[in-house]
Amino acid sequence: MNPSDPALRSFIAVDPSSDFPIQNLPYGVFFTPERPQLRVGVAIGDQILDLAALESAGLIRCDEGHGTFAQPSLNAFMALGPQVWRRTRARISALLRHDNPELRDNAALRRQALVPQRLAQMHLPIAVQGFTDFYSSKEHAFNVGVMFRGKDNALTPNWLSIPIGYNGRASTVVVSGTPIRRPRGQLRPPTADAPTFGPCQRLDFELEMGVVVGQASAMGDMLTAEQAEDMIFGFTLLNDWSARDIQQWEYVPLGPFQAKAFGTSISPWIVTREALEPFRVHGPPQEPPPLPYLRQARPNNYDLHLAVDLKTEQIAQAAGISRTNFRYMYWSSVQQLVHHASSGCAMNVGDLLGSGTVSGPDKGQRGSLLELSWNGTEPLELEGGVRRTFLEDGDSLILRGWCQGDGYRIGFGACEGTILPAG
């Protein structure tokens, strides 16, 4: 049976509102106090299925060797390629089915291989080799352009022809729950004659999706859209924290640097491309048509709902501040990867691509505080008279994402980070 079939049921009880039904099976890396070794698991309901334990018991075999899942990252598994990814997901799905006794009726192995998520500590799921952030939402690019260049020059001349991106820092990609320290840098307000050095005053989030590259390409090679799609292992939520005031001073002429290098948060679960397959949709019309190497033969966007909640020290409940959808992205993840390699740039197993801020056409669908507060001129009004233009110390951002199926949802869990003082 197709692992994404809506009729599938697991012997593990899964709430219909859970992000992790049997149709999902996202991969993550975790440890527990009783067993502190890092290993790979998949989420099923409120449990984690320990793949290292199943591999040790002989119920899963990815290759001729052993220990693919007794690893501190998914890189070794990803390197085995798409055929192994599909075969392994199908095998895990079969083991979890309500009518398969292999794991269901093996009480000893279940005790070893099923771990409550509340008892596990999640780890960064991949060893990030390189991080590239794109700028691929037309609505976001237009909003930012209007703020800083005016409506008539909102999109730069190259924006409709090329997926714009920059190389970021892999060293500061962290898993959800890791605090983010307010960055320091050079600041020069418009009214000042010279810069000063100090804590960022206009700290922002960026709602993005992360693309996890699971196969390498050789230096000097180009990719077709089909090859690029096969290289994508899966997707994760991504928050590319941004220091807007540092960026405003530094970005000419070479673009973001320190304003983006201090922290990027991702969710602990990587949802496979295969699990998202039922939710493929066409993206917005691309006009003018892309150059031949960027053209797509089939839809490469996803009907993926995204939500941002802001939690402050002054209010008891997190406030929803943005609701949007990944389907709005002008440049797809496949086009981003094709373009990234088009110069002959080698791609590595474990590379991470940020989609760029995901914004929709309506005000409530904007994916950053820069847009939501319109560069600080329209503060967000929260409960109890709390107002925000940019993030303050102690604030927490929670990103969530899910695709809604018939009676089930394919979700990513949460991507959360809390702002610490600059110190």
Model pLDDT for residues 106-151, shown as the tens digit of each residue? 999 999 999 999 999 999 999 999 999 999 999 999 999 999 999 9
Cα dihedral: 107, 108, 109, 112 (round 10): 120
Rounded CA gap, 263 and 397, in Å? 13
Classify residue 19: in a domain, yes or no.
no
Same domain, 300 and 412: yes
Verify that 265 and 414 share a domain, yes or no.
yes
Distance from the first to the final alpha carbon of the chain:
55
Residue 328 has pLDDT above 90, yes or no: yes
Give the percent of the chain with pLDDT over 90. Answer: 95
- What's residue 64's pLDDT? 65
What six digits make up the tokens of 62?
């990815």
* Tens-digit pLDDT profile for residues 78-115: 999 999 999 999 999 999 999 999 999 999 999 999 99
How is residue 326 annotated by DSSP? G
Give the model's confidence band at 1: pLDDT under 50 very low, under 70 low, under 90 confident, else very high: confident
User: 113 and 206 in one domain?
Assistant: no
Q: What pLDDT was estimated at residue 306?
A: 98
Indicate the helix (H) or strand (E) that contains 77.
helix 75-78
pLDDT digits (tens, 9 = 90+) for 238-263: 999 999 999 999 999 999 999 999 99
SS3 category, 300:
coil
Residue finishing a domain among 56, 91, 123? 123
Residue 154 belongs to some domain of the structure: yes
177 and 137 in a single domain? The answer is: yes
For the stretch 169-220, pLDDT in tens is 999 999 999 999 999 999 998 889 999 999 999 999 999 999 999 999 999 9
Contact status, residue 366 vs residue 375, Cβ threshold 8 Å = no
Assess whether 184 and 300 both reside in one domain. yes
**222 lies in a domain?**
yes
Which strand (E) or helix (H) includes residue 103? helix 101-104
Range of the domain at 344: 131-420
| Catalytically annotated residues | 140
Q: Residue 250's domain is classified under what CATH number? A: 3.90.850.10
**Residues 272, 408 share a domain:** yes
- Does 2 map to a domain? no
Residue 41 and residue 106 in one domain: yes
Asked, for residue 405, whether it belongs to a domain, the answer is: yes
Q: What is the mean pLDDT of the chain?
A: 96
Domain match, 112 and 171 both = no
- Cα–Cα distance, 68 to 355 (Å, whole number): 29
**Final residue of a domain: which of 74, 99, 123?**
123
User: 187 lies in a domain?
Assistant: yes
Read off the pLDDT of each residue in 26-52 and give the average, rounded to a whole number.
Answer: 97
Long-range interactions of 339-345: CB distance < 8 A, separation 24+: 339/162, 339/163, 339/165, 339/293, 339/294, 340/132, 340/165, 341/217, 341/221, 341/222, 341/223, 341/228, 342/222, 342/223, 342/293, 344/219, 344/220, 344/221, 344/222, 345/219
Q: Same structural domain for residues 81 and 152?
A: no
Do 359 and 210 sit in the same domain of this protein? Answer: yes
Domain containing 46 — which CATH number? Answer: 2.30.30.230
- Quick check: 63 pLDDT over 80? no
Predicted TM-score of the model (pTM): 0.97
151 and 298, same domain (yes or no): yes
Tell whether 169 is covered by a domain. yes
Q: Establish if 347 belongs to a structural domain.
A: yes
Per-residue pLDDT for 65 more than 70? no
Domains in the chain: how many in total?
Answer: 2
DSSP class per residue in 169-204:
-GGGEEETT--EEPPEEEE--TT-SS-EEEE-SSEE
pLDDT average, residue stretch 38-62: 96
DSSP string, 356-392: -----SSGGG--SHHHHTTTTTS-EE-GGG-EESSB-
Looking at 123, 148, 163, the residue that finishes a domain is: 123
For residues 90 and 326, what is the distance between their CA atoms, to the nearest angstrom?
Answer: 26
d(CA 62, CA 113): 17
Question: CA-CA distance, 26 to 74, in Å (whole number)?
Answer: 11
Is residue 63 domain-shared with residue 168, that is, in the same domain?
no
